[in-house]
Structure formats: structure tokens, C-alpha cells
Structure 1
């Protein structure tokens, strides 16, 4: 592990000031960053501990929910408003990790998880453009069963590992950021980037930026929501395909819908094409399957992950059918 300095920030202003040091990174729960440091993939010169900052959950007058970036995943899942008003989020977090990890991991850190691509972690024997731009991508012609079928590029086919972020994408969450340029807010669907020519640039964060909170808007349909994760084993494996959905049905027709996919792209994939086809249409398995097929029409499988297309279509159909029954 590369030597580094350590400082604990007592407030936001101090955290942002410390972040001006060359090679500085923020440390929340450390459940991903510390692992990457051990593997020498991340080599920060300075760690700024921001635990204890922005660690509250506030129910606001407009019905929205403001979640501090420092909130532990276990506290998020336990919150009454999350469990009752946004069950898709609670279920996604519970599906994502063990209780021990949930007790350490933070909401802000969850957004910044890096891929679990085998080639990304193989620093000695594999080429990876995400780890070192311009090096090449051995996953494209290699073992790529877990890799992307949507939104990939010639430079990278890795997938985003977070379960929580898939639920946030379906819930129209907003990410609040503070940095040298002041405060700004970004839709969660715009926060993560597709790989393009620079897969190493994974989000819209600028150097020294700190995620401070996430807002969930008040949504009636969010109460009828679900998360389903398909994986090789039940014991906290990463998703082959996951689906986060919220559905409102009236008189047998889809009044409103939100749909996002995990395990299929470089970022949580908001299925806007499927949503557009579903709104106003019949709330039937046939309609759900047709919308899923349309969303996946542009999928580009690799040598070993073509099964994800059918798996995703069936999972979307099943989740929406379950929600339509619950909302009938």
C-alpha cells in the first residue's frame, strides 16, 4: 500500500479545504476504497475522513426525503420513511451486502463504488482502460459473462456494481455536491457516465467535490415498488441482472411507471424507452414483455453474456406483473 496522510474533517468547510491537497480522496466507510488501496488500484496521497458529516435523514415539508451522504446503509434501511414510502430502496440495499458491510458503508460511498470486473483488479496481468487509459480492454475478448450489454464502448464493457444506485435511478433521486465552485445538484441518472473513450472518468464529480446528500422526491407510485436481483448465488454476489421498478395502475392501465436496470451497463440503466411504451397502456404481462424487449433491442452482447438479454426481459416482466397485481 502506498504511504498516505490522514486527517479527520470536523465540518464541510474543513473537508473541502483539505481536499485541495494533491492526490487527496475522501474516506467514508472505506468498504470499497480501502480494498482498492490494498490492491494498489487506488493510490491516494491523502485521506480525508468525512465520517460524521451529513449523517441525518430529514422528511421535508414538500414530502421529499433528504438523505445525508454520511448515512450508513443500515440506518437507511431501518428508517421508517424509506421502508414504507420507498420499499424498492430498502430492498436494494438489503440485497447489496452483508449486515457487517451495511453497518460501515455510507450512502455517498455507495454511489462511488468501482466495478468488480476481474480485469480491473488484475493489475499484473491484464489490460484495463478504466485502470489505465489507453492500455486496452482484455474483457472484450476474454471472460465477460458478468459484463455490459447496454451502453458499452470499444474502450470498456464493465458494469456498475451498486444495487442502491439502481433503486435511486428508478426513484428520480438528486445528488447534492459541494466543491470549490460552490454547491450544485445533479440528477442521479446524469451523475454516472457511460464509458466512451474515457472509462476511467466514472462520474461528473470534479477534483475536490464532495457528495453531501441525496434527495428522493415525493412520489405516490414509489410506495408500490420492488427490487429483484438475479445472481449466481444468494450469498451477496453481484447482480447478473437486477430490476428496480415502481408502478401505478388504474382501471387495468399503467398510469405511471419507473424502471431501472442493474448488472447490464456501465451505470445504473434507466429504462426510459420501456417506461414511455408502458404509460397509458394495458398493465398486462404481454405489454410488460413488449416494453422490455424494446428497451433491450439495442443490447450488444459479448461472447459469454448473451443470456443477459432474455434474463433481463423476463425479470422486468415478472417484477412489473407482481407490482400490477399488488396495485390492482
Structure 2
């Protein structure tokens, strides 16, 4: 088990007022990218104890996960708490590592889902945002034009959850997972590239619909050795008979099944304003189905995802399209 940290309300308030003094503009989420360096610096001073504890948890390969609850201030508006909460999340993660920055220098992407768009998401195979579909154990990858990489850390923050029962977030550290495959099977996986159908990366377009980003498939090893002689895994998406030998499909299924049955799973309740930080190269994560939606609210979830710019190469990997 891990101990979930809680940001002290006084520190959250101190951080928020520091941003108000710094920005001197109408509060907008896009300002986080503009003032990213200052947010990192202010956060390093105010949240130094939380950051240090998070780093310790992430470096401990028997844990490799950290969770921090970010409060709301009743004196702030809904929008102010929305922006300050995400800024706090950014301040902590940017002091753990250097996140990838996207449009407008934003070190995260906002993912929003609504109940009315569930059918659209199903049609596109979007399990990431369809909260009523289980997302099984996996690790995250970054697909470049000519390769696949595994980010060393990822961070997730639930800003809003429109369900009464959000279930649990599950994490299995690689070090504690008892791999059921023998050396012969592992060597087979290291020597044979798999065609993997990726879990789609999506974003919301200007019309409120969802669009996929990046290729639908990659060719990559499922297992390889890192520079430190540790086994690394690429378990993202699906490996099917359609494009792979039967032995490869069965071994991929065996890997996932053994992770799913691991007694060393760390489970953390999913709730609003809980930030989860992962050592992505040192474990596998999954989440429960969300249940019992709050009535009369179409919005089902807003969550923030930030990705480490420090990555490990998945050797001999490449994106492909069919």
C-alpha cells in the first residue's frame, strides 16, 4: 500500500495567490503554458515536501507510484479552483521531471468526455474516454514518426468525475509481479516483433467531436532488455491473430493475464482532484469501469494527462498503417 498525500489548504491558497499576483490577467487555463517556468519555480518552493515524498515513492521500484490529493478553496470560484488545481498538478509534475509540451507550451492535454458522446467513442474504439468500458493493464507509449518510446513517467489528474461510483485505479509494479513466462517464451518475444493495434489517442475538435491522433498500429517487440539489463515491456493496445502468429498472440495474452492476477496490485480509489504519478517503465496500470452516473449532468469526466519527455526507446519499432 502507499500513503496518499494531501496538499495542505494553506499551501494551496499560498500557491494560488502567488499565481494571481504573477499573472494579473483574467484567469485562463492557457496561461499555464505562458507562465510554466514561474509555476514550476513557485511550486518547488511551496510544495517541496510533497514533491520530495513523491520522488521517493516513484524511485522505490516496489511502489513506483505516488498519489496526491489537491484541495479546493471554498473562497475561490469553480473556474479558479479548476485552473489552480491543474496548475498545482503541473507544478508538482514539472518538478519531478520535464513534461512534453504541446500547443501553446501546455505541459498536458485535457481530455473531456460526455455521456451523449459515448456512441461516438465506441465507434472509434476509444476506451480511454469511454468510462463505462474497462481499460485493462497496460503501460503508456509515445509514438514518433519513426519509432515508439516508453516515457519514464506519466501523470493523471481527475478534475471532474460525473459518476457516483468511480471505482479504483490499479497498479502492478514490475519488480513485484511474478512473471509466469519461462526464458524460452521471453526470448521468443524479444526476437519477434508484434503488430500492435494501439489504444487510440484522441482529442476534442472545435465542434465538440473526437478525433484520433497518430497511427492505428505499430510494429514493436513486446519485451526487450534495457540498458540496465532489465526487462522492458510494451503492453498497449491489442495483439490479434489478424496480423500476428498464434504463438505471439497467446504469449501476449499470458502476459496480461498474469499481471491481472497479480496479488501485488496496488489499488487507489479514483476521485476528483486526486493526482496520480507513475514510474511508467516500472509497472502496469488499469482502471475500473465508472458506474452510477450523476443524473442531469451530460459531462462525465475531465481529466488531465501529462507525459514525461524523458523516454526509453522501444528497439526496432515503427508506426504502420493498414
Using structure 1 for the length normalisation, give the TM-score.
Answer: 0.24
Q: Which has the higher contact order (CA 8 A, sep 6+)?
A: 2
